[in-house]
Amino acid sequence: MGKLSTHVLDITQGRPGAGVKVKLFRVDGSTKVLLKTDTTNQDGRCETPLLTGGEVVAGKYELVFAAGDYFAGQGVALPEPRFVDEVVIAFGIADADANYHVPIVVSPWAYSTYRGS
């Protein structure tokens, strides 16, 4: 059975993004259903997979990372409104038996994602 995991890397400080709030939504048309809320640990990862086994269903999803709150909590001077506040990654799961790892590399000014392993 598949699983979904994530990882946050703070590129400005060259370390994991610890304490970042993460929300996972399933998207069905214009409807979003909150599936899970978690916070990254000292390694920038959630302690358990966001989805695992039978929870992994083919479809569209969104991960929302509270990056602006994280950087503010790190004492970074941010403009108001924040340039990067919530990072929303919209992605699809095509194979429910596969593993999906969706990490982000983030700063107050930019972010990037990719499908990891």
The answer to whether 114 is a known ligand-binding residue is yes
89 contacts 4 by C-beta, under 8 angstroms: no
Flag whether 45 is marked binding. Answer: yes
Q: Is 61 labelled a binding residue?
A: no
Binding residues for substrate: 7, 45, 114
Annotated binding site: which residue ranges? Answer: 7, 45, 114
